[in-house]
Amino acid sequence: MKPATALRCLCLLALVWLTGCAGMPERLEPGTSRAQVIDRLGPPSAEYALTDGARLQYSRQPLGRQVYNLDFDAEGRLRRVVQVLDINWMLKNIAIDRWTRDDVLRHMGRPALVERVARFDGDIWTYRFSENNNDRLAHVHIDRAGVVRQLIFLDEHIPPSDRL
C-alpha cells in the first residue's frame, strides 16, 4: 500500500473513532449544558421532568444493551449520567410492589419486548443488557393495575450464526 493511501486510511479510521466517541453519553462532563448534550448525542429517546430539573433518556433498546439517563439541574446543566441496564442498579432500585409502569418508563425507558404469559395476569417488559460480557434479559412483570410484581433475570441464548 502506498504511504498516501495508508495515511488516508488511518485518518478515516481516526475520524470514525472520534465520531463514535461523540455519541457516548458516559463521556460527557458534569456541567455540560442541555443544548450541548443534544448537539453531541442527538435527540433523546424520551424526556422526563424531575422535581429539581429534567432527564434526557438515551435508549439503545431493542437491539442495544444500554439505557442512559442524563439528569440536569434546574439551570439545564448536566448533573449525572447513569447507565441503568446494570444488574446491580436494577436489583438496588427496582422496588417490587411499589414501582409502577410509569416508574419503569422514567427510569428504564421503553422495553425491547412486551409479552404476556398464561401464568401472570399482566405484561412482561423485557430489557436486553450485558453482565460480564454475557447477554442477559431482565423481565419486569407489571400487573393489570400497573404495579411491578416481579423481576427475573435470564441468560439470552443467541445462536452463533445470529451474533453480530
pLDDT attached to residue 21 = 40
Task: Give me the residues paired with residue 100 across strands.
Answer: 147
pLDDT attached to residue 4 = 58
18: its cell numbers: 472520534
Residue 14 pLDDT > 80, yes or no? Answer: no
What domains are there in the chain, each with its CATH number?
25-83 (3.30.1450.10), 87-162 (3.30.1450.10)
Nearest to 112 by CA among 124, 97, 128, 96: 128
Report the alpha-carbon distance of residue 115 to residue 102 in Å, rounded: 17
Instruction: Say whether 97 sits in a helix, a strand or coil.
Output: coil
Question: Is the Cβ–Cβ distance between 125 and 114 less than 8 Å?
Answer: yes
pLDDT attached to residue 22 = 47
Over the stretch 102-147, which tens digit does the pLDDT of each residue have? 999 999 999 999 999 999 999 999 999 999 999 999 999 999 999 9
pLDDT attached to residue 2 = 62
Over the stretch 29-73, which tens digit does the pLDDT of each residue have? 999 999 999 999 999 999 999 999 999 999 999 999 999 999 999
**pTM attached to this predicted model:** 0.82
- Strands 78-83 and 134-143, how do they pair? unpaired
Instruction: Say whether 158 sits in a helix, a strand or coil.
Output: coil
Task: Tell me the pLDDT band of 163, cut-offs 50, 70 and 90.
Answer: low
